[in-house]
């Protein structure tokens, strides 16, 4: 009799297991749907950008039918400055402060991408600022310790890019 009860219990357990697994999957899917907020609409994105002072325009992509929002950013060219006679210790310290400044700009949402050029030309690198005005971008770029020390100078230009498109 004990064997029959154990056998019947095992049959019940294995018979219910696929149903239990399916129920678990459905619950997990429902939780994921709840956790993932809906993407903001194009109208909401445009309104938010305009309310925050950004210049934008949009167009409809012929291939996808999607509305593409173009936003004005500001690209800072970091060029060799007039004061480049610092010793190695000073240069290394300035470089650390420079990288910390760029990291802070990224963390605060003011800069979307920064990086050096791979040659030894007069233009040393770029930073793309995500600010509503040239004045704000220029002010932030000029707070860079390398710029303050005169090792770099900033050349700023307005630059347009599609909002939300990643680098590839």
pLDDT at 144: 98
pLDDT at 126: 98
Is residue 93 within a helix (H) or strand (E), and if so which, with residue range?
helix 88-107
Strands 56-60 and 67-80, by their bridges, are: antiparallel
**Residue 96 CA from chain centroid, whole number:** 22
Beta bridge partners of 129: 74, 111
Structure tokens at 113: 């991408």
Q: Could you tell me what percentage of the chain is helix, strand and coil, using 3-state DSSP and rounding each to the nearest 5?
A: 45, 25, 30
Cβ burial of 56 (10 Å; 0-12, 13-18, 19+) is: middle
pLDDT at 11: 54
Find out whether 84 and 151 touch, Cβ atoms under 8 Å: yes
pLDDT at 5: 56
In the chain (168 residues long), the average pLDDT of successive 10-residue segments reads 54 60 71 76 93 96 95 98 94 96 97 95 97 98 97 98 88
pLDDT at 4: 53
The CATH H-level superfamily of 69-162 is Dimeric alpha+beta barrel (3.30.70.1060)
Global pTM reads 0.75
Domain ranges of the chain: 1-37, 69-162
């Amino acid at each position: 009799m004990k064997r029959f009860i154990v056998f019947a219990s095992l049959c019940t357990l294995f018979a219910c297991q696929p149903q239990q697994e399916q129920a678990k999957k459905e619950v997990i899917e429902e939780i994921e749907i709840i956790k993932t907020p809906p993407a903001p609409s194009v109208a909401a994105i445009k309104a938010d950008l305009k309310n925050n002072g950004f210049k934008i325009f949009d167009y409809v992509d012929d291939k996808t039918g999607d509305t593409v929002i173009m936003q004005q950013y500001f690209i800072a060219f970091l060029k060799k400055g007039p004061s480049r006679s610092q010793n190695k210790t000073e240069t290394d310290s300035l470089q650390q402060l420079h990288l910390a400044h760029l990291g802070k700009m990224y963390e605060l949402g003011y800069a979307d991408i920064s990086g050096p050029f791979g040659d030894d030309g007069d233009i040393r690198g770029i930073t793309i600022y995500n600010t509503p005005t040239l004045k704000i971008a220029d002010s932030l770029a000029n707070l860079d310790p390398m710029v303050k020390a005169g090792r770099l100078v900033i050349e700023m230009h307005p630059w347009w890019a599609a909002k939300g498109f990643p680098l590839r």
